[in-house]
Structure 1
Amino acid sequence: MALQDIRILVALDFGTTYSGFAYVHKENPDNIETNHTWPGREGVFKTPTALLYNETYTQVKSWGDLALEEEPEYMVDDSEERSRPIELFKLHISDLKDNQKPWLPSQLNYKKAIEDYLTQMQILIKSTLERRWPAIRFPQQVGFVLTIPAEWPNNTTGIMRECAYKAGLLSTLNSAHLEFTTEPEAAALYCLNVVKEHNLHPGDSFLVADCGGGTVDITSRKLLHDNKLSEITERIGDLCGSTFVDKEFLQFLGRKVGFQALETLKRCNYGQMQHLIQQFFCNLVKFKFKGDRTTFKPMRLILHRYCPDLQEYVTGELKEKMEEAGWIVKLDFESVKGMFDPVVDKVIKLIDGQLKEARDRCSAMFLVGGFSESPYLLNRVRETFRDQVPIIAVPALPIAAVVRGAVAYGLNVEIVQERVLKWTYGIEVCRSWVSGKDKKNRRTHDGLIFYFYKLAQRRTKVDVDRKFSGEFSPVRADQTHIVFNVYYTRNDFAKYCNESGMKLLGTLRINTPDTHFGLNRQIEFSLTFAKMEIKATAKNKRNGKTYDETTFELDI
């Protein structure tokens, strides 16, 4: 980001369940402000990532907390079909199978939902900045940093850039006023502010677990001189945030009243479903559960207080049992623990895998994000890793860690000195097929075999502008053009470009008119890893001139 061209820097944490933004004037970089004023709510750093449309899903009526209100402020005609709030639509970018992705109405695709949500954010951000600095030209004098999960597909940044542009956050699609960083990287940068409190010094390593509503992302970093960071090993993440505890609660309740009854409540009385989850489960159970059997007090869920219409949808034997129980569901210690454990176990498995992969001694572990404020999660993590990691802490304002860390990144993108590649990169090349060595079905009609030539290995540490290269020659003496197809994969032992998991990153085509040299035409093909992009270059080794080059988005 060309910081000299902008006056205000805004970081936007577009989360699966909650979103927020922070901002700073470049003339006063220490005064980072986190927004805490939202439509319908004051004094919190985030608002729900939720939209409420009109009945045809063509116009946004409200967003954030207002979209999830049990009784919206506007009046709805009884003869008019009410729309259902749209949530979790960010997950449609992820690698989840289609049947596992959240519901969307047929009239709405996920990109339009993201665009619409960012549009509402843009309106609020613009008014917030103009209230503070009336002379600011928006968005021309504003730079943005968007955070993305660590383990999401390679096209995530492209999708988010397009949506940000359509939402009015950028003047042009390819504006240089937008940077991306991963959520765990931003969280790690935020933790730079607290490492001194725990007596960490250059050379010490620490782990950051960003535990959000939808995703949990883990990264290991080493503290360098001049308050900079390097990445120790490949960051990892999974869908095991706090909303998956909510799902376990609904599974428990579904066994009491019937899953069909819950589905009908969700479809017909979505506000009551939200009221049940937020006001009862989150406020009274999830945020307070410590996992201590001796201090736990059994809970009584009186259904008619939170979802009075639910009993209309319960049928058969389950209805008889609920009537006998007075429509009260009891939550004992084992039941609540059973809601947490499948999710917390996944988080612990992620942390354990990261510690083993990093190998270096971990001096401290910081838990951030909304889920980090769960007493049970913190207790389980401390209990599991207390012999491996001497300091396990939750820093101040953990829910704002990602967005404030993203501001720090935007102010100084050089703060991250090294990253670890999360993919293996290479190109498709060919050679003569060899009988007895190569598979028969790999032989082309002209006696060649195409295979994957590895240039950059997954888990390799790379600093900015690190180049990986190889030398290649034409296949035929009269060849007048060459196509370099660049692929990436997680498979450390990939052999062919049509294997499962292999993905095409992009293509570089060059003209090679110097056919009088025949096959004696060495070409250096290289991939150079910049901050946010990969540059592919083809150079003539005979005269040192560059044939051509292009850039691809770097999946950070």
Structure 2
Amino acid sequence: MALQDIRILVALDFGTTYSGFAYVHKENPDNIETNHTWPGREGVFKTPTALLYNETYTQVKSWGDLALEEEPEYMVDDSEERSRPIELFKLHISDLKDNQKPWLPSQLNYKKAIEDYLTQMQILIKSTLERRWPAIRFPQQVGFVLTIPAEWPNNTTGIMRECAYKAGLLSTLNSAHLEFTTEPEAAALYCLNVVKEHNLHPGDSFLVADCGGGTVDITSRKLLHDNKLSEITERIGDLCGSTFVDKEFLQFLGRKVGFQALETLKRCNYGQMQHLIQQFFCNLVKFKFKGDPTTFKPMRLILHRYCPDLQEYVTGELKEKMEEAGWIVKLDFESVKGMFDPVVDKVIKLIDGQLKETRDRCSAMFLVGGFSESPYLLNRVRETFRDQVPIIAVPALPIAAVVRGAVAYGLNVEIVQERVLKWTYGIEVCRSWVSGKDKKNRRTHDGLIFYFYKLAQRRTKVDVDRKFSGEFSPVRADQTHIVFNVYYTRSDFAKYCNESGMKLLGTLRINTPDTHFGLNRQIEFSLTFAKMEIKATAKNKRNGKTYDETTFELDI
């Protein structure tokens, strides 16, 4: 199936805490539709990224909102062992340390959880499209755009491609019907729809802060002619989304009732824990907090209304204090502000760092994502940056910004003309070790030294298909093959490939049978940066023959 056979384009925002999809028929590209019908819920653009399995974690019982619903007592069979819902499993792809990654049962691999969730998405997407266009062939006539966080590892796209294929979204593993874009890039493309409202013109720069549940990603873009975009600084991001405010609330509560009691509640009565967070904290506190002490009314958390079983797990002195208080926890202004500030401070720091990186004056700042609807976050951002950025706004439908921007990218992948490299790329090469110049511990047994040869520097602005090259020769006259190990690093001054932070991207191995030329066999090695891939090529300079080429995933 060729690319021109794609009739429907679907963008899938697989988020840390919530996910959604949007779609459009290529014959009517202005009519982008965002799905708002989910199992168990209508009228919202996203559903929780959550799964509920059977007791052995081998079969999905429900997903999305239904996975987090607390079953009424009359429906629960006490003889049946209930599994705990699986959430935040996307974070297992990230660079978090293992002890910081979310809980998963021993029976379940995170890739299987992603595959299972995308399978449920695939079933819903397929039925949605077939209801609209009965003659469509799925997935043969459907193209997909998947969004990924800006700061995640190079293997993210490979993992997501594999899971998408196993979930039935693709006909073949390497199908060209799948494109990737970063979440902040998609958000920036969505904001193209509103820049005219704020009187921005070609040459003006704007910043987009995609504030989601798990990650916050920041990107700065310049508006070009023909409604296209250029990236002007390196994208940045961090794990400081709105769910980290929820964690601060649980830290506050844990100091009142004991952290062990909360952990037992989570393990034994997960539905009650969810009810406490969603129905009390999110709906009554987090979504409404503005940061104004003059209008804030202290709140009373009556624990038995939201988590009646918690009392059983509280012990010792804390239990005595809670009994005296009637199992009521008071939330005053400073307590709630203390839940927000550690997280909001990180967001402010990210934005500040991005503004300092760009040399251009920032004409506008747009906040999108679910967390952008927090009045306190918006007030803090405006208060901090009002003297630097004249326009700070939240566009309409901010929660759907990423998925709708991803559709725009899929319709015109040339809309982004330049990107800024996040990494320094190069290869491992060797030469003769020189006494007095090179470190003794770097000398090999045969008198060579291996080092990092830089080809492309981090923070370099690159056009699509820009090539970075170098010329190399065999080390030995009788060498019949050459191995090019491609590495990447955040360091600007890396010298060796075994330094901390250096990572192997991939390997290109070529045959060089023309040993009669000895060392006089110049090979041009190139890295070409395409939309979402890096193409590695080795070319014989003597006869112009390209020996081999391969592609690696480009962490954009």
Q: Structure 1 length as normaliser, TM-score?
A: 0.99
Q: Deviations over 1:432-457 (max 9, x none)?
A: 11111111010011111000000000
Task: Say if 1:532 and 1:72 are closer, same or farther in 2 by CA, change over 3 A.
Answer: farther
SS of 1:74's partner is helix
Task: Say if 1:73 and 1:555 are closer, same or farther in 2 by CA, change over 3 A.
Answer: farther
- How far off its partner does 1:544 sit? 1.6
1:71 aligned onto 2:71: yes
Residue pair 2:55, 2:82 contacting (<8 A) in 1 also: yes
Residue pair 1:205, 1:221 contacting (<8 A) in 2 also: yes
Residue pair 2:3, 2:176 contacting (<8 A) in 1 also: no
Hey, what's the Cα distance between the residues in 1 that align with 2:511 and 2:168? 39
The farther-off stretch of 243-252 and 492-501 is: 492-501
Residue pair 1:207, 1:221 contacting (<8 A) in 2 also: yes
Aligned to 2:269: 269
- Counting only pairs closer than 5 Å after superposition, residues 308-327 of structure 1 correspond to structure 2 as 308-327=308-327
Aligned to 1:541: 541
- How far off its partner does 1:89 sit? 0.3
- How far off its partner does 1:359 sit? 2.0
Q: Deviations over 1:197-255 (max 9, x none)?
A: 00000000000000000000000000000000010011010000000000000000000
SS of 2:392's partner is strand
Residue identity over aligned pairs, in percent, reads 99
Aligned to 1:397: 397
- How far off its partner does 1:74 sit? 10
The farther-off stretch of 501-510 and 175-184 is: 501-510
- How far off its partner does 1:522 sit? 1.1
- How far off its partner does 1:340 sit? 0.2
Residue pair 1:480, 1:511 contacting (<8 A) in 2 also: yes
- How far off its partner does 1:79 sit? 1.4
The farther-off stretch of 220-229 and 66-75 is: 66-75
- How far off its partner does 1:313 sit? 0.8
Could you list the runs of 5+ residues in structure 1 that have no partner in the other structure? Answer: none
Residue pair 1:211, 1:372 contacting (<8 A) in 2 also: yes
Hey, what's the Cα distance between the residues in 2 that align with 1:508 and 1:264? 51
Hey, what's the Cα distance between the residues in 2 that align with 1:327 and 1:123? 45
Residue pair 1:192, 1:227 contacting (<8 A) in 2 also: yes
The farther-off stretch of 256-265 and 546-555 is: 546-555
Hey, what's the Cα distance between the residues in 1 that align with 2:531 and 2:29? 22
Hey, what's the Cα distance between the residues in 2 that align with 1:161 and 1:106? 24
The farther-off stretch of 482-491 and 515-524 is: 515-524
- How far off its partner does 1:542 sit? 1.4
CA RMSD of aligned residues (A): 1.1
Hey, what's the Cα distance between the residues in 2 that align with 1:193 and 1:178? 24
Q: Deviations over 1:303-332 (max 9, x none)?
A: 111111111111111111111111110000
Residue pair 2:364, 2:392 contacting (<8 A) in 1 also: yes
Residue pair 2:298, 2:330 contacting (<8 A) in 1 also: yes
Hey, what's the Cα distance between the residues in 2 that align with 1:147 and 1:73? 39
1:146 aligned onto 2:150: no
Residue pair 1:473, 1:521 contacting (<8 A) in 2 also: yes
Could you list the runs of 5+ residues in structure 2 that have no partner in the other structure? Answer: none
Residue pair 2:88, 2:102 contacting (<8 A) in 1 also: yes
Q: Deviations over 1:317-351 (max 9, x none)?
A: 11111111111100000000000000000000000
Number of residue pairs matched by the alignment: 556
4+ residue runs over 3 A deviation = 72-76
Residue pair 1:3, 1:411 contacting (<8 A) in 2 also: no
Hey, what's the Cα distance between the residues in 2 that align with 1:175 and 1:302? 54
Hey, what's the Cα distance between the residues in 1 that align with 2:195 and 2:524? 44
Residue pair 1:34, 1:45 contacting (<8 A) in 2 also: yes
Q: Structure 2 length as normaliser, TM-score?
A: 0.99
Hey, what's the Cα distance between the residues in 1 that align with 2:475 and 2:525? 15
Q: Deviations over 1:444-486 (max 9, x none)?
A: 1111100000000011011011000011111111211111111
SS of 2:74's partner is coil
SS of 1:296's partner is coil
Q: Deviations over 1:122-156 (max 9, x none)?
A: 00000000000000000000000000000001100
SS of 2:308's partner is coil
Residue pair 1:76, 1:82 contacting (<8 A) in 2 also: no
Hey, what's the Cα distance between the residues in 2 that align with 1:513 and 1:314? 74
Hey, what's the Cα distance between the residues in 1 that align with 2:253 and 2:133? 50
SS of 2:73's partner is coil
Q: Deviations over 1:61-116 (max 9, x none)?
A: 00000000011699443112110000000000000000000000011010000000
SS of 1:550's partner is strand
Hey, what's the Cα distance between the residues in 2 that align with 1:45 and 1:155? 28
Q: Deviations over 1:366-420 (max 9, x none)?
A: 0000000000000000000011100000000000000000000000000000011
- How far off its partner does 1:3 sit? 4.6
SS of 1:492's partner is coil
Residue pair 1:48, 1:64 contacting (<8 A) in 2 also: yes
Q: Deviations over 1:488-537 (max 9, x none)?
A: 11111100011111111111111112222221111111101111111111
Residue pair 2:458, 2:490 contacting (<8 A) in 1 also: yes
Q: Deviations over 1:255-275 (max 9, x none)?
A: 001111111111111111000
Hey, what's the Cα distance between the residues in 2 that align with 1:265 and 1:224? 54
Residue pair 1:219, 1:236 contacting (<8 A) in 2 also: yes
Task: Say if 1:408 and 1:72 are closer, same or farther in 2 by CA, change over 3 A.
Answer: farther
SS of 2:470's partner is strand
Hey, what's the Cα distance between the residues in 2 that align with 1:284 and 1:221? 36
SS of 1:524's partner is strand
Residue pair 1:66, 1:72 contacting (<8 A) in 2 also: no
Residue pair 1:9, 1:23 contacting (<8 A) in 2 also: yes
Hey, what's the Cα distance between the residues in 2 that align with 1:517 and 1:115? 51
SS of 1:309's partner is helix
Hey, what's the Cα distance between the residues in 2 that align with 1:212 and 1:495? 37
Residue pair 2:234, 2:421 contacting (<8 A) in 1 also: yes
- How far off its partner does 1:2 sit? 6.1
Residue pair 2:212, 2:371 contacting (<8 A) in 1 also: yes
